[in-house]
Amino acid sequence: MKHLNLILATICCLALASCGKESKDSNDSNENVNVTLTPASTTIKGNLKEYFTVVDKSYTAKFEENGDFSRYIISIELERTDVPFKFDTEGVDPVGTVDEDVNGNFGIGIDIIDADGNIAISRSPKADGFYGVYDSDDLRDLFLLDSGETGRVRWIIREFTDYENKKFTFKVSSYLHMEKHSSGSSSSVNSDEDVTGGEMSEDTSSSSHWDSVLDAYEKYVNEYIAVYKKVQAGDASAYTKLASLTEKYQELGEQLENAEDEMTVSQMARLQKISAKLANAIQ
């Protein structure tokens, strides 16, 4: 399923958050170590590559304490080229925006490469929520840049704590999908990569599986938020509930794997609403 990765990524972050306090204690000795990143290429992959390039310099990830959790934030600078946009940027919003006035969606992703040349950490340009950019306004501001001006795109990267060697290279990727919701037709901007395929089906007759899956997802999120608030309030007994939530996560993962249909636009909007509720509660 094309939407499966988005939901699984969100739930995986829940599992990570569940053990966040213990992880923080075990990694105190090496978390607050500078992480440096240099671009493996200034060219952006995907169908926005002619409009933006990566500013060629060394970047340092910023370490932050966030309550019982810790994280790194990376900020990468992109420079606007002198190529005029071949599409109308009006109504083109970041991935995850679902509205009748939205004519398309776009995103920026990043692949972080370790010293052996392997992709260690990846953020898809199609992702939003936990695995998307830090602030969607970073993306919106890119379309406001004049030739030669620079903007930033930020991501939260907690996985840096798993690596002793904190020197990486990276490549930036992009995604753009144009869709006219008002007419019911869609068009994609040509690209040399598979980054434009339509992901939201309007065929509501073939989406019954997703209704029950989303019901289960919403129930899980509500339960997790309730337990999370108890933990934040200092209720030590609430930690025992996290084990059962992990089991439910596995069960929900199986349901997601077995869902055979594409989401409708309204179901995608519901998914975004549930994910936003979770993100707001945690942050």
Q: Which two tokens stand for residue 142?
A: 């890119």
Tell me how far apart the alpha carbons of residues 271 and 280 are, in angstroms, rounded to a whole number. Answer: 14
The separation between CA 211 and the C-alpha centre of its own chain, rounded to angstroms, equals 23
Burial string for 174-190 (b: 16+ CB within 10 Å, else e) reads bbbbbbebeeeebeebe
Tell me how far apart the alpha carbons of residues 112 and 76 are, in angstroms, rounded to a whole number. Answer: 12
Check whether 27 has a pLDDT greater than 70. Answer: no
Query: Which secondary-structure segment (H or E) carries 11?
Result: helix 4-18
Per residue in 137-193, pLDDT tens?
A: 999 999 999 999 999 999 988 888 778 778 999 999 999 988 654 334 444 444 434
Specify the pTM. Answer: 0.59
Q: Per mean pLDDT, which of 10-24, 37-51, 162-176 is the most reliable?
A: 37-51
Contact 175, 94 (CB under 8 A): no
Contact 246, 227 (CB under 8 A): no
Tell me how far apart the alpha carbons of residues 19 and 98 are, in angstroms, rounded to a whole number. Answer: 32
Give me the amino acid identity at 86. K
- With vertex at residue 12, the alpha carbon angle to CA 227 and CA 126, rounded to the nearest 5 degrees, is 125
What mean pLDDT is predicted for residues 51-68? 87
The separation between CA 186 and the C-alpha centre of its own chain, rounded to angstroms, equals 23
Least confident span in 250-254, 258-262, 279-283: 258-262
